[in-house]
Structure 1
């Protein structure tokens, strides 16, 4: 049996856990949930699913539809290849095991993996010159010591794995554990499972405030109602800083815009998620300026997804033709066969950027009753299940299996001035 399924079959009583307190409020009722999750993207959905399975009563609220934010504009990456050794890679390894286990779970006459188009196709990271290849080799060696599978592929053998790849590459590494999922399907099915475990999902209901009582957060106020709860989980993605500010605490998450091109459906051309080693540096960069690096992968529907761009321009949703041209040019350099392929659409989204490139996880000591699961930037889909596991363990009083200290919400300094 998989790691995910064996772990999640651990019995839980329906007691009030140590970190969840019923609100001390005149508006509280016997039906007040243990947990309100703010955000119905992939992270909120995963947390709602695992918290419900752990025995907590859960209500999910979102200002828009399910996956209406970052998740709906994601490529579906579940990656180890782009993670430097450290807390994020530890979380990615945990989450990768969770995804593989959940993929095999029977669901509605199929499996969860098939329903969400989970592809265990692996990744291929390539370098265009000796210096980039040397850096990639050093990274792979450090990753392997922690359990990442990274297989060196000489330049003259890369086309055995990707026949249409340019010959202008020095070498690369294959990462068999990398996966791809259809993120909107994944979030929707996780919320379906949460509902089956008793959760309530409220969409198109913006949170306008947090309820307070006895020195702690005791629920949320939406445009339609007050929802008293034992605890509130901030899983609001790129808008998580605004939710934190309602409690008077600072979580410096900012939107980092990115574009994706989608080609016409094609015969199978690209077997892995393929990207240049430069992409790893772009992910780790603190620059607010535009950065692009070639990232190309096929989908089960036959379309090819082309990225990746990053820039901090606030919540500016304008389409940038120069960025789209750069993405197309980068993809053609990597796969010349795409030169005459039609692009049928482009979309953009906002990654929840955190200054130290680590997510914000766990209880906030500055605002008791408020917990966070946000700030994953472009890795939220891949990290969602591991995040949900750690957050649920924290909420139910279990020792988290990964130290939450590097992800602590109060690591950024002072509270928001009142």
Structure 2
């Protein structure tokens, strides 16, 4: 899901876009591990916070700490950056246009041009566009696009919600995760998964995630999901218990069953390449993925072995099937 503040790999390239607008900043990340029942950890200060939210802007807040439950363990990652996805995407579009790219919005692909088995371009409702290579970077819809080329790519939507609070004083200075988030991301269950991720913004609002569930493209609001988000945030930060939520939004992450992205050429449809299936890490991994794809397209050796991300890994394998590593 393209939510505000996604972790950014190679974020220095997006630190400042056109017109002086900053796309990324180093905020750091804090992983926490808790034990016991939510809201029952901590000493007298924590009990005061649970009763009335007092004592939350003293020395801990001045040091940049995040007032809340006392964690059993913490892992700070101070060098992590975040980018605002909409600003980052707009900046990348500007760079693409500057390099000579033509952008055709609201013109979905309806099919592929072929020369025998080889993909030689795409069709839209308005035109045919020949191309030496075609890149499928359609995100959550990448599987549907691959079907038009006759190949199976099991990229499925995984719905997620985010809550946004009213503006608050700056008491949450880093992006704070409960370590359960890792297990939720790695889960293959279609059922609702929820673990708290809490981040303050420059405007003072607090962003609260994160849920995951596979319900197709059902865009309906889910009260059970929103309640679990709120409960998880209070688990980490009891001071948020009486804070008002001003809005909620949702999106669909491109989920792959093995939790790896799909990157590289598709031997089942020569001329077709894929860059999709990153689930919630697509914004942060976009620049690195683009570099790998570009290296493959021009015949250079990729900086990273793309074999684990090969598109054909989802196809039934023949007994003597051999895959070329690039």
Per the normalisation by structure 1, the TM-score is 0.67
Select 2:106's aligned residue among 182, 204, 208. 204
**Residue of structure 1 equivalent to 2:141:** 239
Comparing both structures, which one devotes a greater share of its residues to helix? 1
Q: Is the 8 A contact 2:64 2:172 kept in 1?
A: no
Corresponding residue number in structure 1 for 2:227:
325
1:104-253 matches, cutoff 5 A: 107-108=17-18, 110=20, 114-116=21-23, 118-129=24-35, 161-167=64-70, 169-253=71-155
CA positional deviation for 1:221: 0.8
Query: Are 1:389 and 2:291 an aligned pair?
Result: yes
Conservation of the 8 A alpha-carbon contact between 1:364 and 1:409 = yes
Select which of 152, 155, 168 maps to 1:266. 168
Could you tell me which runs of 5 or more consecutive residues in structure 2 were left unpaired when the two chains were aligned. Answer: 37-58, 318-326
CA RMSD between the two structures: 1.9
Counterpart secondary structure, 2:26: coil
Give me the whole-angstrom Cα distance separating, in 2, the residues matched to 1:158 and 1:406: 44
Tell me, yes or no, if the aligned pair for 1:219 and 1:230 is still in contact at 8 Å. yes
Give the Cα–Cα distance (whole angstroms) in 2 for the partners of residues 316 and 201 of structure 1: 29
Identify the residue that residue 136 of structure 1 maps to in structure 2: none
Conserved in 1, the CA contact under 8 Å of 2:14 and 2:88? no
Between the aligned partners of 1:192 and 1:163, the Cα distance in structure 2 is 37
TM-score, normalized by length of structure 2? 0.86
Instruction: Quote the offset at 1:158 in angstroms.
Output: 8.8
Instruction: Kindly indicate whether the alpha-carbon contact (under 8 Å) linking 1:158 and 1:171 is maintained by their aligned counterparts in 2.
Output: no
Distance 2:115 2:268 in 1: 14
Shift of 1:108: 4.0
Secondary structure of 1:327's aligned partner: helix
CA distance in 2, matches of 1:305, 1:296: 6
Give the 3-state SS of the residue equivalent to 1:119 in structure 2.
Answer: strand
Equivalent residue for 2:11?
Answer: 99
Question: Moved runs in structure 1, 4+ residues, more than 6 A?
Answer: none
Q: How does 1:21-40 map to 2 (within 5 A)?
A: none
State the 1:332 CA deviation. 1.1
How many residues align structurally? 294
- Match in the other structure for 2:7: 78
Q: 2:243 aligns with which of 341, 349, 370?
A: 341
Judge conservation of contact 2:15–2:22 (CA < 8 Å) in 1: no
For 1:394 and 1:242, how far apart are their aligned partners in 2? 24
**SS of the residue 2:224 aligns to:** helix
Give matches, 1:311-322, under 5 Å.
311-322=213-224
Unaligned runs of 5+ in 1: 1-69, 80-95, 131-156
Identify the match of residue 361 of structure 1 among 259, 263, 281.
Answer: 263
1:233-312 alignment, distance < 5 Å: 233-312=135-214
Q: CA deviation at 1:253?
A: 0.6
Q: Distance in 1 between matches of 2:220 and 2:131?
A: 38
| Other structure's SS at 1:200 match | coil
Task: Tell me whether 1:380 sits opposite 2:267 in the alignment.
Answer: no
SS class of match (1:398): coil
277 and 104 in structure 1: CA distance in 2 versus 1, 3 angstrom threshold: closer
